[in-house]
Structure 1
Amino acid sequence: MIRVLVRLALLALVAALAAVAALAWYAQRPLVWDGEAVEFTLRPGTALRQATRQIAAAGVPVEPALMGLIGRVAVDGTKLQAGSYAFRSGLTPVELLEMMTRGDVTLREVRLIEGWTWRQARAALAAHPDLLQEAAALDDAQLLARIGSDAPFAEGWFFPDTYLFARGDSDLSVLRRAHHAMQAQLAQAWQNRTADLPYRSPQDALIMASIIEKETGTATDRPMIASVFVNRLRVGMPLQTDPTVIYGLGERFDGNLTRAHLRADTPYNTYTRGGLPPTPIALPGRAAIDAALNPAPSPYYYFVARGDGSSEFSRTLAEHNRAVDRFQRRPAKSERK
């Protein structure tokens, strides 16, 4: 009887060792298939067995039952991280599971561009095919509340940059990151600002930065353009900047800014109203923020575009009129001849 039990025990041990060897062989055997990498999105809370079934259905030749065993004895299958993955032919089952426990997700990107309006930024996010669209149904106040912001308006409060995300991430998560980035950039620049600037708050500086962003054709001109606007604020001169008027026109603007537009009063018409407009008019980048908070010291109150992207700066209206004649009016007359 004892001999029989010993033999049975030995057979069971041999069978167990064979099973372990077979599992180890399967765990290290490359998974091979024809075609491109298989993209797979793991949703939060998905269990290992369910995940491996979905991976098999997507085209990766895995055995869900064996993957479950590997997830219990070799890789901690309870720690799968949600996200989008790209599985390439030649991966072993262990490598595949390790990818999902490490969170080696594939990343997409979306760009928010300096000088874009908030409307343009929302449109870019809404058009991205890999973002989960949650913002579309929200107005600005609701959206700001969802991302935890107490900003009084959305315009200008999202930092223009390239944002990476996993396929299926929410557009709100990208906006939350862009908003926090703008808060951090503005706070840092505010701490390092020039003394005695005519701003009541960082929000005023953000508004000014957005104007500088829209007015600057050449990057090196930013601090000087900032100085013109700061000098005007200090003495109570209207800013008289076309981009604010255009922003106030909104979708009514057809690309042709007329004298009638400049005379028509709106909260954003800096020809008819003094001081800063009520909100930013675009998403300013860090260079524009720095220029707003560290303008170049200058005696200038006027500037005009030279036609090559740079600007001509003047101290007096008479100098400015001569610069306008030189760089804008006279070329226009010669073109008509």
Structure 2
Amino acid sequence: MLFLVPVVPSRSHFENGVAFKVKINPQSGLVNIGSQLQEQGLSINPLVLQLGARGLFVSSKLKPGTYLFPTGASLGQILLQVARGDRVKESIAIIPGMSIWQLRNIMDSHAAIVHQTKGMSTKELLQSLNLNYPSAEGIFLPDTYIFDPDEIDLHIYRRAALGMQKHLNQIWDQREAGLPLKTPYELLVLASMIEKETGRSSDRDMISAVFINRLNKNMPLQIDPTVIYGLGPKFDGNLRKSDLRRDSPYNTYMRKGLPPSPIAMPSKESLQAAVHPAKSNALFFVAKGDGSSHFSQSLKEHESAVDRYQRKIAPKNIAN
């Protein structure tokens, strides 16, 4: 039968040397699909394509997308593959702790995405997504998003935003009583700070406790990642004392309470930690150098921990 004859040519530009890549546009009929396959180098007669599709009962089942057809594939094999929708897939990962400008750079540079939002301001991006937030920071759920080649970037942003909204609302409804958080957005802000300060996942609930305790006591949060975020994407990796003295809405050394927006994309684990802090009176923590932190209830103990773990001064009387 004609549709069993191989139609994939022997050409040097096969994908990975073993498969021929073609693209079928959305809303394409049989005749149009035949023309597209011909234009991309397959030796297919459009009339034979129609006969083959009807013979295999797939005329109305052919799906658009990008396909890899193996060497020597017949028309019948191609039709069945397209009917199954066995397409090439692409992916993009939103990593916990990633900033909005890092995400937009990755999205804008992805070769398989149609860049509809490239060059948009934050305000324009939010308007395109029908979202009413003061910032696009933190509102996209960290995950790996699978999509077909030539997907519009706005669709991926929308999936990530809806995913975050779903989890944020679920976790907000599960929050403990008495937390100093007035809205789900404040939860998102707090979770982003936990994300950036967590070196070891087992410390999340303790870091959350420190932040919650400080907020309850009206103490400044005093964390470097908020100051760094306020410096913007041009931060050179060296946080200076002058930066800590420079007032900004994100300088939690100079201003009490939460910063005005998240400072990163928080993970589900950080969202959970924000509403379920550890039962602790700790007010301070310092990195120990192994990814974990030492937590202290008093300034005196904290200063001793800083000497031990940061300044490398021999400890006097400090518990491990």
TM-score normalised by structure 1 residue count: 0.87
CA RMSD of aligned residues (A): 1.8
Paired residue for 2:40, among 40, 43, 58?
A: 58
Report if aligned partners of 1:75, 1:97 keep a CA contact under 8 Å in 2: no
SS state at 1:77 partner: coil
**Structure 1 residue 252 displacement after superposition:** 4.3
2:6 and 2:75 in contact (8 A); partners too: yes
Q: SS of the residue aligned with 2:285? A: strand
Q: Which residue of 2 aligns with 1:80?
A: 62
- Counterpart in 2 of 1:26? 2
| Larger Rg computed on CA atoms | 1
Percent identity at matched positions? 42
Q: Bigger CA drift: 159-168 or 83-92?
A: 83-92
Specify the code of the residue in structure 2 equivalent to 1:28. Answer: L
How far is the alpha carbon of 1:141 from its aligned partner?
1.9
Matched residue type, 1:144: L
1: distance between equivalents of 2:65 and 2:180?
47
Matches within 5 A, 1:227-242: 227-242=209-224
Tell me which residue corresponds to 2:243: 261
Map of 2:317 onto structure 1: none
Task: Determine helix, strand or coil for the equivalent of 2:261.
Answer: coil
2:192 is matched with 210
The C-alpha deviation readout for 1:149-195, integer Å capped at 9, x for no partner, is 23332100001111111111111111111111111121221122222
Using the TM superposition, give the Cα deviation of residue 61 of structure 1 relative to its aligned residue in structure 2, in angstroms: 2.6
Matched, 1:226 2:226: no
- Report what 2:268 is aligned to: 286
After TM superposition, list the pairs within 5 Å mapping 1:65-214 onto structure 2. 65-214=47-196
Matches of 2:132 and 2:84 in 1, distance apart? 35
**C-alpha displacement of 1:63:** 2.0
Structure 1 runs (4+) deviating above 4 angstroms are none
Tell me how far 1:293 sits from its aligned partner.
Answer: 1.2
The CA distance in 2 between the partners of 1:220 and 1:122, in whole Å, is 30
8 Å CA contact retained: 2:141, 2:266: yes
Q: In structure 1, the residue corresponding to 2:311 is in which secondary structure? A: helix
2:292 pairs with 289, 307, 310, which one? 310
5+ long unaligned stretches in structure 2: 315-320
Aligned residues: 308
Q: Distance in 1 between matches of 2:287 and 2:107?
A: 33
1:30: Cα distance to partner? 4.1
SS in 1 for 2:91: strand
Gaps of 5+ in 1: 1-24, 333-337
Give the counterpart letter for 1:207 in structure 2. V
- TM-score, normalised via structure 2 length: 0.91
SS at match of 2:176: coil
- Cα deviation for residue 62 of structure 1 reads 2.0
SS in 2 for 1:164: strand
Q: Which residue of 2 aligns with 1:14?
A: none
